[in-house]
Amino acid sequence: MTTNEGIVRFDADVLVIGGGGAGAMAAVKAAGEGADTLVVTKGPYPSGNSSIALAGYAVALGSSDPRDNPQVHFEDIIRNGVGLNNQSLVKIWVNEIVGLTREMEEWGIDLIREDGKLAQRPWPGHTYPRMVHHHMTTGKAVTKSLGQKSEEVGVRSLPHTVVGGLLKSGAGVVGAWGVQYQTGQPVLIRSKSVILTTGGMGHLFPATDNVGGVTGEGYALALRAGAEFIDMEFCHFVPGPCHPPRMRIRDGFQRHVGALINEGGAKLFNGAGERFMKRQFPDSAEKGLDGESLVKAIGFELCEGRAGPHGGVFLDLSDVPQHMRESTFSEVWATAERAGIDVSYQPVEITPTLHDLVGGVKIDESGGAGVPGLYAAGEAAGGVHGASRF
């Protein structure tokens, strides 16, 4: 690091922009191969959406069912993405995630085990149980492990810094410039390669469950550098709270909405007080629908002008049995209690909430973004998930 004319300058072999799970893993791998690696991130390192991820991630270990393997996982992803996936990337994904998980085990990652093996639980769309997890704090466990490994292999980090642009020499990317926003200090970073792991763009939408700062700059950086994009029309929405304001917290409420309706007897009403699900799904009404169907039905009501006063529909929890409030849905009532709300009497207004962008920067099998020196990974990159991420 040097200072010249008021600008702090850094040199690195590999510059990683974004410090979530993808960025931290990229940095660990690069530094582990001997590359001088610098991570620039808006918040602390590591952080990002990965740090608040809840339920786990899918990997075909076969711990819960020996019939599971990467080929079955591959077929599940292709089916869920309706065949629009880049199949070469999917094959790399399902095979390498097995080795990476074993490697993180060696690092001492804190994941739940049963009978000496990593526990795997079922998840919608997956043929076999393959979600490895640490209860509902999996992201915290993963990022903690990556942070510790980053220190071990000598990853440098530049936190609280916003990148404003990429540096180019001819057709290639050779670094980036930005500002440390807490001090106003401009920074200039020269590097041999740049990896974009900037996540999605949740906060460009009215409602999102993303952490603050996920605003899509990575896509803008890649576009200006000459990269191409894929599947940007596909976004993954979940039904999440939009009112009362204190319920708009990233506490896992949205993951319970379907179960509250299907198992707990919760009811949906539009702004006119109508039980609208029967109109959208005459055969099933409210029960038995997945999250995607719920989001579509809610979206139709909003588009047709039957929203509540805060742009959503009402989820009435008053009929959820007491024993389920204390067991299956205790997290929901705990979330509401922390927000000072009694959801036994006060409905929660919910709306389609942006969870993640399915597409992203178009990459090849090495993560290259089609511009010399520029790579992308994680939610910043597209092609793996096709039309839908699950």
pLDDT tens-digit map of 210-231: 998 999 999 999 999 999 999 9
The predicted structure's pLDDT at residue 284: 65
266 within some domain: yes
272 within some domain: yes
**Domain carrying residue 308:** 237-354
Query: Is residue 252 over pLDDT 70?
Result: no
SS3 call for 30: helix
Sign of the CA dihedral 364, 237, 355, 257? Answer: negative
The predicted structure's pLDDT at residue 113: 94
Higher pLDDT, 336 or 94: 94
293 within some domain: yes
Query: Is residue 248 over pLDDT 80?
Result: no
375 within some domain: no
**Residues sharing a CB contact under 8 Å with residue 160, sequence separation 6 or more, in sequence order:** 41, 42, 43, 44, 180, 181, 182
Domains of the chain: total: 1
The predicted structure's pLDDT at residue 247: 79
Separation of alpha carbons 281 and 295, rounded Å: 12
Separation of alpha carbons 85 and 386, rounded Å: 4
pLDDT in tens, 139-171: 999 999 999 999 999 999 999 999 999 999 999
Determine which of 47-61, 116-130, 243-257, 329-343 has the lowest per-residue pLDDT on average: 243-257
The enclosing H or E element of 196 equals: strand 185-196
Q: Domain containing 256 — which CATH number?
A: 3.90.700.10
The enclosing H or E element of 316 equals: strand 313-316
Sign of the CA dihedral 118, 121, 122, 124? Answer: negative
**Angle in degrees, CA 381, 62, 355, rounded to 5:** 30
User: What's the pTM value of the predicted model, to 2 decimals?
Assistant: 0.92
